[in-house]
Structure 1
Amino acid sequence: MINRHLLFYRHRFYRHLFLIATGVVASMGVPFPIHRIGALGTVALMVLLSVELGGPIRAHQTHHRWPDTAYRRLGVLTLLFQLLWMCSPRDFAFVGFAVLLATTAFIFWSLKRLLICLAQETQIRMAVLGGAVAGYLLLGISGGLLFGALETVAPGSFINQADGGRELLLAGLGADSAAHRIWDLDFTRIHYFAFVSLTTVGYGDIIPALPPSQMASVALSISGPLYLAIVMGLLISRYTLQSEKQEIRDWQEGAPGPPPHSGADSDDR
């Protein structure tokens, strides 16, 4: 029995996630400091994930369980750490350590719960495809956030080869850079590099220069193809099952031709 109430809210969540994630990515293409709106979009993403994925996500689930509560609390904690980090001056950038740890745990937990939702879909609709695409965009946005936190904690983690090998964030701030808040930094190129790593393109204009940033880049490069492989497998299997059910339905309604072959028939034989 399909829980239609849960299905409705799940598809609505897919649409909202796709719209916000697309808006955050699009905002990175506008000039600084207008694209700071993308930071607000990131906050909206965290709130959406905490609220929507923090509820019952399985078809047979009717009430919250302790993992749901723990997930929501981690989302709130991650959001608080991010806001504290963005409001901190440069000389308090060590707050980025908490952002790195909390965001990494929260995003990967979010992707796991999103994949559980996608795996329960019996029909491939536009909302489902939007949710799958949004998960991929979420990986890139989160990678940019993590890389940005890493660069503020350890300046020089990423080097801009196209700019003479200078630091990616702090090179143009001058001697009083410690007085600047993290909010004042331009994270466009960090997010650009995150998506380049996610897609395993690697143009070579920006390079990770320190071991932590190198390992983080490798991890993101692995996560991108792995996510695509898992999601493509889920969607193809669901689409195949959907097509088989449609063929059986058409035959039962009197369509000419032999009965369609199904997996259930092969198992009986």
Structure 2
Amino acid sequence: MSAPGTRPYAPLLLAAVATLVSMALPAPFSFLLSSGGFSLLILLQIKLLAGEGSTHTTNLLFRLLGWLSLASLWLWLLTPAEVRSSGLPLLVMLSLFELQAFIRLIGRLSHERRVTREVLMGALAGYVLLGLTAALLTALVESIHPGSFSGLPESISERVTVHNQPGTMQDARFIHLTYFAFVTMTTLGYGDVVPLTPQAKLLSICLSVLGTFYLAVNLGVLIGRFIQEEQAGP
């Protein structure tokens, strides 16, 4: 069970990991499950973090951004690849929503009185969420500006031409962009997928900074809390 005052982060972590694993499944299961997973993650963040704002107005705006992000996500998923501008609302809404969500999550973790299993799950869930959000943003950049990344098996436009059907998130080879996002966040940089356009390069810089920042802040918070517990004694 969760410690008193600790929020249950396990559902958030399980949903994030399940969404990540679902991308490796064969089509059409990967598209359906990952799309549902992203939707569930947005809803869980709204539920768990909506009460972390300082005022009723900020909480209301956070919820509104979450619902707009969810609506924009499905608008983008259901829109043919030819209408690439449909990704712009999601790019803006999701960026603002996840920025607020990460600030609230870090704030929530910093106020936990003890470093429990739930707190560690929350910290890990935040990192996986950051990677999934980064993957979604890279897919958006690729869908709006095809050819933004090299090393992808095929672009959305090529798949539409070959199969004569609307492109989707699955058609963008989302698993490769997810791999690129996590590799960039951890600053490994294998070099098999490379950003080519200025927008993709700027996004890559932001991801590497955010990944390092999240780890540094959370490690500082958790280690500081653990030291306080040790000094306080039983």
TM-score w.r.t. the length of structure 2 is 0.91
The secondary structure found in structure 2 opposite 1:53 is: helix
Counterpart in the other structure of 1:253? none
Larger radius of gyration: 1
Contact 1:196/1:203, CA 8 A, preserved across alignment: yes
Counterpart in the other structure of 1:21? 16
After superposition, the C-alpha distances for 1:35-70 in whole angstroms (9 at most, x for unaligned) are 221121011000111122112x37xx8xx6111011
Q: Structure 1 184/192 Cα, relative in aligned 2: closer, same or farther at 3 Å?
A: closer
Counterpart in the other structure of 2:97? 106
Map residues 133-172 of structure 1 onto 2, 5 A cutoff: 133-160=124-151, 167-172=154-159
Counterpart in the other structure of 1:258? none
1:91 pairs with 2:117: no
Say what the alpha-carbon RMSD is for the aligned residues: 2.0
1:212 paired residue among 199, 205, 208: 199
After superposition, the C-alpha distances for 1:129-160 in whole angstroms (9 at most, x for unaligned) are 00000100011000110111111111111111
Q: Which amino acid aligns with 2:46?
A: S
Contact 2:81/2:156, CA 8 A, preserved across alignment: no
Q: Which amino acid aligns with 1:113?
A: R
Which whole-Å CA distance do the structure 2 matches of 1:200 and 1:171 have between them? 30
Q: Which amino acid aligns with 1:77?
A: L
2:116 paired residue among 116, 125, 128: 125
2:46 paired residue among 50, 53, 63: 50
The secondary structure found in structure 1 opposite 2:89 is: helix
Q: Structure 1 116/18 Cα, relative in aligned 2: closer, same or farther at 3 Å?
A: same
Contact 2:156/2:167, CA 8 A, preserved across alignment: no
Counterpart in the other structure of 1:38? 34
Which whole-Å CA distance do the structure 2 matches of 1:170 and 1:128 have between them? 43
Identity value in percent:
31
The secondary structure found in structure 1 opposite 2:150 is: strand
After superposition, the C-alpha distances for 1:95-149 in whole angstroms (9 at most, x for unaligned) are 1111111111111110000001001011111100000001000110001101111
Which whole-Å CA distance do the structure 1 matches of 2:57 and 2:106 have between them? 19
Counterpart in the other structure of 1:260? none
